Chains A and B, each alone.
Chain A
Amino acid sequence: MLDQILCIDDDPITLMLCKKVIIRSSFSNEIITSQNGEEALNFFNTIKYTNNKTNPITQPQLIFLDLNMPVMGGWEFLDYFNSTEFEEFNTIKVVVLTSTIDPEDLEKSKKYPMVIDFLSKPISQSMLEYLKDKLK
C-alpha cells in the first residue's frame, strides 16, 4: 500500500470517485487532491521550501493526472514538473488518467520519463490492481 497519492483533476466528482475507489481497494493511506496543475505545483513548492524543518512533509509517491484542466492543464504541469526546478521530486511517478482519445496525446505522454502509464477514465478497482502490479 502506498502512503500518499496526489490526484490532480478539476472535476470534484472525479476526485470523489478517486478517493472512494482508492480507499476501497486499499491502494493508498492518504489521498490529497489539486484542482489544476498550478495548485499542484504550489503544493510541491511548499514541500520544497519547508523541508528544512525537523519533521519533513511526506511526499506523494504517485500522481493521477488529468490533462484538460483550467488555469494549468496536465501538459503544462508535466513541463514544469519535468524541469530542474522540481528535480528533487523526480522519483514520483505519474499516471495520466484522462477521458481523451486523441492518439497524439498518448504519444506525447511517452516523452515524459515520469509518466508510467496512460489510462482511460473512470478509475476502477481493477485498474488499481493493475497499477499495484506495475509498481511492485
Chain B
Amino acid sequence: MKSKTNQVIIIYILISMFVAIVIHKLLLQYISNENLPFFTFTKDLLFVLFTGLIFKLILSKNDNRNVAIFEKLKNTNDEIKESNEKYNIVAKATSDTIWDWKIQEDSFSWNKGIESVFGYKEKDVDDNSNWWFDKIHPEDSIKMSIRLYSFIEQKTENWQDQYRFRCADNSYKYVLDRGFLLKDDTGKAVRMIGAIQDITKQKEEEQRLKLLETVITQSKDSIIITEADSSDAKIPNIIYVNPAFSIMSGYEAVEIIGKSPDLFNSPNSDSNELKKLLAAIKNKEECLIETISYTKNKEEYCVRLSMIPIYNLDNELSHWISIQRDITDEKKQEREKEQLIRELTQNNKDLKQFSYITSHNLRAPLSNLIGLLNLVEDIPIENQELQEILSGFNKSTHLLNDTINDLVKVIVIKDNPSIKKEEVFIKKIFENVFSQLNFQIELHKPIIKLDFEKVAIININKAYIESILLNLLTNSIKYKSENRKLKITITTHEIDDTVVLIFKDNGIGIDLVRNRDKVFGLYQRFHNYPDSKGLGLYLVKSQVETMGGTIEIESEVNKGTTFTLTFKNRQ
C-alpha cells in the first residue's frame, strides 16, 4: 500500500513539474512583463486545476483497484473461514484420529482422537514424531517405518499402513493409517497429515472369520454352498466347494462353480432319495439323504449329504449349504456286518435245529432202553450176576437220561427268551421242592431256616424258580460237609424295585479264587462226585437270566456257599 502511495505521489510530482515547465516556457514566449502578475496568477490557477484533475484521475483509478483487491481478499477470507469450519466439522464427525507432522521442525500434533480413541491425555502426548513411533507395536514398527520413509522420500505414490498402536492402558489397537504429503515450491515434503482409523473390531472379526473359515477349509467332510434358487427342477448352482470336496469328487473348485450338483449323479443314484432332495429344495426344507455319486473319473462312491437352507437377515433364502461325507467304506462295513449277522442267524438256527434233532435221536433209543428196563423190573430174575448187570445197566441208563433231560432243558431255555411270569408264593415253591427231595431230607435231616416275611410273593416263572431252588438245594445236600450238620438259610428281602433271595449253606464250598469264572459254566465240575454232571449251576444261571434276574456267588472252601438271586419285581 505504501509503495502505491509513493508511486502516486511521484507520478503526481513528475506530472506537476512537467506541467510547470511547459507553462513556464509558453509564458516566456507570449507574455510581456507588465501583465506578469496577472499571468502568473492565472498560470497558478490553471496549474492547480490541471494537476488537481490529473491527481483525481490517478486516485480514482487507484481507488477502483483497491476496491477490487479488497473484494478479492474478502472472498478469499470467506473461503478460508468456510474451509476451516468444514475441517472442524469433519474432524469432529470422523472417528479417525488425525495427526499433523511438520517434518523439518519435527513438530507433531494430534486431534481429540488421541484421547477419545487411545486414551492419552493432552499432557501425556509429546509434540514430536518419536512419541508416535514409540507407540507402534515392536513387531510392526520396522516394516511400518520403512514404508513411511520411502513415501516421504517420494519413492512411493500412496501411503497407508496397518499396525498395532499402543493405548494409554498398554493394550494394542489395530489401526489403519492413511496420510498425504504437503510439498514446498521445490517439491520437497514439508508436512504430512494422516488419519488413523481404529480397525480393531474389524481385525478381530476378520480373525474370527478366518478361524471359522478353517472349519470349512480344513474339514474332512465336503462342504458345498449353492445359490438359493434353482431352475428346471435342478439342484441350485454351486458357488463354493471346500478342498475336502475336491478330494472326494476329483473336481477342482473352478471346474464346478456355477454348475448344478446334478452332474454328480450316477446311473446308480438312488432316485427316490434324489426326489426327496428335490422336494426338500422346492419346499425350502432341510434334508438328509444317502445316494451314490460319480467322481470326475466316473467312479462311484456312496455319499451321505445334507442340504440346509440358509436365510439372510430379511428371512429370505439366500443360500444352501450341503455337507457331504463319503460313506463307501461305512456302507461296505455295514453290508459285511449284515451279511455276518445273516450268516450267524442262519448258523444259530441250524445249530438249534441240530440240537433238537440230536436230542431227539438220542432220546428215541434211550426211551426204549428205559421202557425195556421198566419191563424187566417186573420179571423175577434168579441169576444173581444177571441181576447185578441189569442193575448197573439200569443206573447208567437213568443217569444218561438225566443228563439228556438237563441238556434238553438248557436248549429249551436258550430257545425261549421270553417266558410267562406270575405271582408266586415262595413258601409254596419250597413245599413242592421239599416234597421232591423228601427222601434226601429225611436221610440227612438238614437244619433249614426259611424267612420270607419281608417278601412272600415274587413275580416269576413258577417252573423255573422251582427248578432253580431244586438245583440249589440238591447241591447243598450233595456237597455238605461231613464234619458238621448241614444248615441252610433262605431269606428274601426287597431293595428298591428288586427282590433279593439269599440262599446260604455251610457246605464244603467252592474255591472261587481258582474257579470264579467257571462256576456257572457248562460242564464245570468242582468236586469229584459220581453223580455230578456239571450242569446244575449252568442251568440255574440260564433260568435266572431268562427271567431277567441275576445270580451271584460267594463261597469259601469248607465254610459254605451263598447265592444271591436278584429279580425285578415288576413286569
Contact = CB atoms under 8 A, between A and B. Distances in A.
A20 interface: yes
A14 B367 CA distance: 9
A4 B484 CA distance: 60
In the complex, which range does the number of interface residues on chain B fall in?
A: 20 to 34
Q: Majority SS of interface residues in chain B?
A: helix
B368 A122 contact: yes
Given A101-B412, A103-B412, A103-B415, A21 B364 contact: no
Contact of B360 (A13, A14, A99): A99
A12 to B, nearest CB: 10
B375 interface: yes
B37 interface: no
Given A17-B372, A21-B375, A102-B356, A121 B411 contact: no
Which of A13, A20, A99, A103 counts the most chain B CB atoms within 10 A? Answer: A99
Given A103-B415, A121-B367, A68 B360 contact: yes
Nearest to B369: A122
Nearest to B363: A99
Interface string B362-399: 01111110111011001000000000000000000000
Nearest to B368: A13
A24 B372 CA distance: 13
A121 B412 contact: no
Contacts of A102: 356, 360
Contact of A17 (B360, B368, B408): B368
A101 B375 contact: no
A11 B368 contact: yes
Interface string A2-45: 00000000010110010011001000000000000000000000
B359 interface: yes
Contacts of A122: 367-368, 370-371, 374
A91 interface: no
Contact of A99 (B367, B412, B415): B367
A123 B356 CA distance: 20
B416 interface: yes
Interface string A84-113: 000000000000001111110000000000
A17 to B, nearest CB: 4
A125 B377 CA distance: 12
A116 to B, nearest CB: 20
Contacts of A59: none
B371 A101 contact: no
Given A11-B368, A17-B372, A101 B360 contact: yes
A50 interface: no
A51 interface: no
Contacts, number: 57
A71 B98 CA distance: 112
A124 interface: yes
Nearest to B415: A103
Given A100-B356, A101-B359, A101-B412, A24 B378 contact: yes
A46 interface: no
Contacts of A101: 356, 359-360, 363, 408, 411-412
A21 B367 contact: no
A100 B353 CA distance: 11
Given A100-B360, A101-B356, A124 B374 contact: yes
Interface string B244-270: 000000000000000000000000000
A101 B414 CA distance: 13
A17 B366 CA distance: 13
B415 A20 contact: no
B369 to A, nearest CB: 8
A21 B360 contact: no
B371 A124 contact: yes
Given A101-B363, A101-B411, A21 B371 contact: yes
Interface string A36-64: 00000000000000000000000000000
Interface in B344-366: 356, 359-360, 363-366
Nearest to B401: A122
Given A24-B378, A101-B408, A103-B415, A121 B371 contact: yes
Given A24-B375, A68-B360, A101-B411, 6 more contacts: A11-B364, A14-B364, A21-B371, A21-B374, A21-B375, A103-B415
Interface of B: 356, 359-360, 363-368, 370-372, 374-375, 378, 408, 411-412, 415-416
20 contacts: A13-B365, A14-B371, A17-B371, A17-B375, A21-B371, A68-B364, A99-B366, A99-B367, A100-B356, A100-B360, A101-B359, A101-B412, A102-B360, A121-B363, A122-B367, A122-B370, A122-B371, A122-B374, A123-B371, A125-B374
Q: Which 9 A-B pairs have the closest CB atoms?
A: A122-B371, A121-B367, A99-B363, A122-B367, A17-B371, A99-B364, A101-B408, A102-B356, A13-B368
